[in-house]
Structure 1
Amino acid sequence: MGRIYEIGYAFDRAVKIDQKGKKTVTTADFVRELAKVNWDWTRRQANDWIEMSVSTFKDISTEEGDNRTFMVYNPNGGR
Structure 2
Amino acid sequence: MARRYEIYSAFSSAICYGTPRGQTVRASDFVRELASFNHHWTLQEAAEWIGRYQLSFRLYAEHPGGDKEFFLMNMGRVQRGG
TM-score normalised to structure 2 length: 0.82
Query: Matched residue of 2:34: which SS?
Result: helix
Q: In terms of mean alpha carbon deviation, does 13-22 or 43-52 score higher?
A: 13-22
Which aligned segments of 4 or more residues in structure 1 are displaced greater than 6 angstroms? none
TM-aligned CA distance change 1:73 to 1:64, over 3 Å:
same
The corresponding residue for 2:74 is: 74
How far did 1:23 drift? 0.3
Equivalent in the alignment of 2:8: 8
The number of residue pairs the alignment matches comes to 79
Mark the runs of 5 or more structure 1 residues left unpaired by the alignment: none
Q: Equivalent residue for 1:47?
A: 47
Alignment gaps of 5+ in structure 2: none
Identity of aligned residues (%): 34
